[in-house]
Structure 1
Amino acid sequence: MSDRQWEELDGEPGTVEAKGRKYTELAEAIARSVTTLQQIVDDTNTTAKSMDKTRTLAGQVREDIEKARQRYSQTGEALTSYGASLRAAKNEADPAAQRLRTLRADLETAQATAQSAENGVDDLPKDASDADKADAQRAQTNANTAVSDLQGQITQAESEWNSGHGDKDTAARTAISKIEEVVSGDKVNGLEDSGWDKFKNVVKGVYKVFKIICDIAGILAIFLSWVPILGQVLMVLAAIGSIISIIENIVKFARGEIGFGAMLLGVGLGVMGLFGGKAIGSIAKYAKARSVVQTAGRMSNSAAKAKFGAALLKSSRKTFAMTKGQRVGEVLKSPFVRSAGDKAVAGMFKNGLYKNAFKSWQGSKFPLPYKDGGARFALGNDDVVDMMKHMSQSGLRIDGVTSAAQSIASVGAVFNQAATLGNNAAKLGTSIGGGDGWGGFSSGNSLATSGAGGSWGKITGLPGNINTAVTGLTDTFGHDGYVAGKW
C-alpha cells in the first residue's frame, strides 16, 4: 500500500464509487441488450430467410456479450463496495492522524515541562523549605501525569489509525479477489487476452522503457556528449527522444486528447530539443564571424592577422560566406553531431591528455572553480560563450545586424538551456510516473483488454485518475491496475 504511517489514508471514496456505478450501469446496459437480442432470437413470426440469419447472428452476439455482463457487474460491485469501505476506513483513520499530529506536538512540550520540573527538584538547595520541596514535587508529579495522559491518548489514536488502515487493506484485498475472478480466474468466461493483445502489451512495455532511456539520455547528453562513443550514443538517443515527443503531441492532438496550444508547445519544445542549440550556435558563430570580417576589412592584412590570427580570419571568412541553405543544412544535421568543443575534449582523452581534457570538460559544463564554467553552464552553448568572449574585445566593428545576432544568440541560449533542462526533466518524470506517451500500443476495444472499450475519461466524463482514486488496488497490480480500464 502507498499509505504513510500515521497520516491520512490515500484514496478518493467518491471517485471509486462513481467508477463502480459506471461499471454497474454498463452491466445493466449489456443485460438490456441481451434481452433485446433474445427477443429477436425468439421471434418466429417473421419467416424470411434474412431474419433466420439475423436470429442466428443475434444468438451468437447475445452469447458473447452475456459473457461480458458478469465482468462489468462484478467489477462494479467490487468497486462500489470498496469505495464504501474506503470511506469508513478514512472516517476512522484520518481524524486519528490529525489528532496524532497535535498530540505529538503537545507531548514534546509536556516532556520538556516534565524535564524542567525534574531539574527543579534536583536543583533544590539543601536548606529549601518543606513548602518549596512540596511545590517542586507537585509540579514534577503533575508534569509526569500530563506526559502519561498524552502517551495514552497517542496510543489510542494509533490504535484507531491501525484499525482504519487494516479495514482498508482488507477491503482492497476483497475487491482485488472479486476482480481477479472475472479477469483471470474461474469467471473469466473465455475473455482472456489474445496472443496479439499480449504481444501489444509487451511492445508497449518495451516502448515505455525505451522512452525513459531516451529521456535520461537527453539529460546526460548535456554533460557527457564529449565522451568518445558514449557521447555519440547519448546524442542519438536524445534526438530520438525529441522526435518521439513531437510525434506524441501530434498524435494526442489528432485524438483530441490535448488542445492546439498544448500541441504547439509540445512540438515546439521537441523541435528546440533537436535543433535549438545548433541554430543558436550558428547565429552566434555568424555574429562573431561578421565582426571579424568587417573589422579586418578596415585593417591591413598584417594588422588583421596580428589581431585575430590567421586561423580565425580564415574560419570567419568561411562562416560569413556560407549561404542560407548551407546554414540550414548544418542545423538540420546537428542533433547527431557533437560540438567542436566536445570533439576537442574527446580528442584529448584519446591522445592521453587526461588532465587537460578534464579541466576543459569541467570548464565547459559546470560552474566554478573553472574559468567560464558558470557562463557555459547557464548558456549551454560553447559557440555563444566564445562569441561573448570575442565581443568583449575592443576595436571591433559591430553593426546593427551583428548586434542583433549577438542579442538573439545570448538570450536564446539561456532560454534554450532552461527549456531543454526543464522539458527533459518533465518528460522523464512523466515517463517514470507511468505516462502512456502517444498510446500507440494501448489497449484496443476488446472486452478482454479494455475497460468498456476506452479510456476512463471518455467513458465516464469524470475528471481524475482511477489509479489515484483506487489506491490499494492499483498499488497491488502496478500503475495500470485492473480497474483502470486496462484489464
Structure 2
Amino acid sequence: MGDTQWEALDGKPYTVGAKGRRYQEIAEAIQRSMGSLDNIVDQIDNKSLAMDATRELASSVKEDIEKARVRYADTGEALATYGDALETAKYEQADPAARELAGLRGELEAAETAERNAASAVDDLPDDASDADKQSAETTATNATSEASALRGEISRYEQQWTDGHEAKNAAAAVAKDKIHEVVYGSKVNGLKDGFWDKVKEIGTFLYKALKIICDIAGILAIFLSWVPILGQVLVALAALGAILQIIEGIVKIATEGFSWAALGGIGLGVLGLFGGKAIGAVAKYAKARSVVQTSAQLSTRASKLKFGNSLLKSSRKTFALTKGQRVSEALKSPFLRTATDKKIAGLLKSREWTNALKTKFPMPYKDGGMRLAFGNDDVVDMAKFFSQTGLRIDGATSAAMNTAYLGSITHNFINLGRNTYNLGTDIQSGNGWGIAGDASTIGTQPAGGDYNKIIGKGIKLVG
C-alpha cells in the first residue's frame, strides 16, 4: 500500500493510536502487578522457608515481567506517537492540500486556456487596429497571465504542504519502526526471543498464506480452464478449498473480534463460491430432465428410447421426481461431487465403451470452448448442448429454469473472478484477506517514489 501523489494520505490515525493506547494500558497493568510482587518481596518479617521460596520466585518472575512490560510500553509509545504524527500530517497538512489541489488544477486549466486565447487575440490584431483596441487586448492578456501565474503559485504552495505532510508521516513511521525493532531485535530484547514453537508457528503461518495465494490463483484460473482435463479438476478442487478457508476465516473473525459486515460478506462470498456452482448445476439438470420427461410423454416408448436412450430417460425421471428438499440436499452436498460429464464417463466405462469414454474425458482442446468459457459449469454446458436439439417440449417452468441456469452461471463466474482477484490482492499485500491469517500491521506506507516504511506485526509480537 502506498500513498498516491497529491491525493489523501493512506492510514488511519485513530486505529494506530488506539492500538498504541491499548499496549500502554497493558504495560500499566503489568506495572500494577509488579507492585504486588514488590509487596511479597518486601515482607521481610515473615521468616518461614515457604515465604523465602515465595519471595525468591516473586523476584525472579518480576524480572521476566519487567522485560515484557518494556516491550508493551515502548511499542505502545511508538504507535501512539506515530498515530499523533499521522493525524497531523494527514488531517492538517496533506489531505487539506490534496483537496485544494483538486480544485486549483481545474481552475488553472481554465486560466491557461484564457491566457492562450488572450495572447492569440493580441497576435491576431489587424495592423490598422486602433490604440484603444490594442490596449484592451494587451490588458486582457496581462490579466490572464497574472491570474494563471497566481494559480501556479497557489498550486506550488499546496504541493509543498502535501509533500511536508507526506515526509513527516514517513519520518514518524521510520522512527516508530526503529523503536519497536529495538525492543524486539536490538539492545532492549532482554532475552525475549522466539522459541522453537514460535518458529514452527511462523513457518505454519507462512505455509498457510502461501496456500491461500495458491487457492486464489487457482480460483481465477478455474474460471477459464476448468474444462481442461485433469488440470481443470485440480483447479476446481483448489478453488473450493480456498472458499472453505475464506468461510472459516470469516467465522473465526466474528467469533474473536465481534460482528462485522466485511466478515459476514466474506462468509457469504465463500459459501457462494463453494455451493453456488452446484446450485446452478442442479437448476440446469432440472431444466434438462423436465424437458426429457415431458417430451418423452408425447412420444411412444420406442421413439423415446431412440431419441434419448435408456440411460438418459432413467436419470431424467429420477431427477424430475426429486422433491424440493431433495434438490436442496443435492445442491449442498460436497462441492467435489462428480459433474454430469464425470457421471457420463463413468457410465461409458461401465458399459465398456472405452473409446467414447476416452473422447469424453479428453475432448479436443477447443471443443465447446466458447460455452465452457462463458458458463464455467459442466452441467450448464451439458444442458445447453441438450437444448440445441429440435423437437423438445419446453414449457414455462423449463424455460425459466434454463434461463436461470444461463444467467446464474455467468454471474457466478464474474463474482468468483472478483472474489478471488480481491483475495489474491489482499493476501499478497498483507497476508490477510477477510480473516485472521496475517500478523502484519503496516502503519507506514510507501511514499511516492520512495522506499517502504513498515512496522511489521512480528515486531509487535511482544512476548516470544
TM-score exceeds 0.5: yes
Residue in 1 that maps onto 2:380: 381
Preserved CA contact (<8 Å) 1:15 1:469: no
Residue in 1 that maps onto 2:353: none
Residue in 1 that maps onto 2:423: 430
| Distance in structure 2 (CA, Å) of the matches to 1:80 and 1:256 | 22
Which string of whole-angstrom CA distances, capped at 9 and with x for unpartnered residues, describes residues 243-292 of structure 1?
333444454455464489977x8667555544543454345435534543
Note the residue ranges of structure 1 that are not aligned, 5 or more in a row.
367-375, 444-465
* Alignment map for 1:195-234 (pairs within 5 Å): 195-234=196-235
Residue in 2 that maps onto 1:449: none
- Of the three residues 350, 353, 360, the one matched with 2:368 is 360
RMSD: 4.2
* Letter of the 1:425 counterpart: G
* Letter of the 1:411 counterpart: T
TM-score after normalising by structure 2: 0.78
Which string of whole-angstrom CA distances, capped at 9 and with x for unpartnered residues, describes residues 289-345 of structure 1?
45434543553345446xxx45x2323223136587999789857626455299899
Distance of aligned partners of 1:396 and 1:185 in 2 relative to their CA distance in 1, 3 Å threshold: same
Residue in 1 that maps onto 2:453: 476
Preserved CA contact (<8 Å) 1:293 1:313: no
Distance apart, 1:227 and its partner CA: 1.5
* Letter of the 1:426 counterpart: R
Sequence identity percentage: 44
| Distance in structure 2 (CA, Å) of the matches to 1:397 and 1:243 | 37
Query: What SS does structure 2 have at the residue aligned with 1:477?
Result: coil
Residue in 1 that maps onto 2:9: 9
Distance of aligned partners of 1:122 and 1:7 in 2 relative to their CA distance in 1, 3 Å threshold: same
Instruction: Decide which moves more: 281-290 or 132-141.
Output: 281-290
| Distance in structure 2 (CA, Å) of the matches to 1:22 and 1:378 | 49
Residue in 1 that maps onto 2:312: 316
* Letter of the 2:112 counterpart: Q
Preserved CA contact (<8 Å) 1:281 1:383: no
Distance apart, 1:426 and its partner CA: 2.6
* Letter of the 2:369 counterpart: W
Preserved CA contact (<8 Å) 1:235 1:336: no
Which string of whole-angstrom CA distances, capped at 9 and with x for unpartnered residues, describes residues 324-375 of structure 1?
7999789857626455299899948967x5xxx4262024323xxxxxxxxx
Distance of aligned partners of 1:29 and 1:318 in 2 relative to their CA distance in 1, 3 Å threshold: same
Say which structure, 1 or 2, has more relative contact order (CA 8 Å, 6+ apart): 2
| Distance in structure 2 (CA, Å) of the matches to 1:70 and 1:126 | 84
* Alignment map for 1:408-427 (pairs within 5 Å): 410-411=403-404, 414-415=407-408, 418-419=411-412, 421-423=414-416, 425-427=418-420
| Distance in structure 2 (CA, Å) of the matches to 1:270 and 1:5 | 35
| Distance in structure 2 (CA, Å) of the matches to 1:95 and 1:334 | 51
Q: How many residues align?
A: 441
* Alignment map for 1:119-198 (pairs within 5 Å): 119-198=120-199
Query: What SS does structure 1 have at the residue aligned with 2:453?
Result: helix
| Distance in structure 2 (CA, Å) of the matches to 1:438 and 1:116 | 54
Distance of aligned partners of 1:471 and 1:322 in 2 relative to their CA distance in 1, 3 Å threshold: same
Distance of aligned partners of 1:194 and 1:405 in 2 relative to their CA distance in 1, 3 Å threshold: farther
Distance of aligned partners of 1:440 and 1:156 in 2 relative to their CA distance in 1, 3 Å threshold: closer
Preserved CA contact (<8 Å) 1:293 1:316: no
Distance of aligned partners of 1:138 and 1:273 in 2 relative to their CA distance in 1, 3 Å threshold: closer
Instruction: Decide which moves more: 154-163 or 247-256.
Output: 247-256
* Letter of the 2:372 counterpart: S
Which string of whole-angstrom CA distances, capped at 9 and with x for unpartnered residues, describes residues 376-397 of structure 1?
479982244346556xx55638
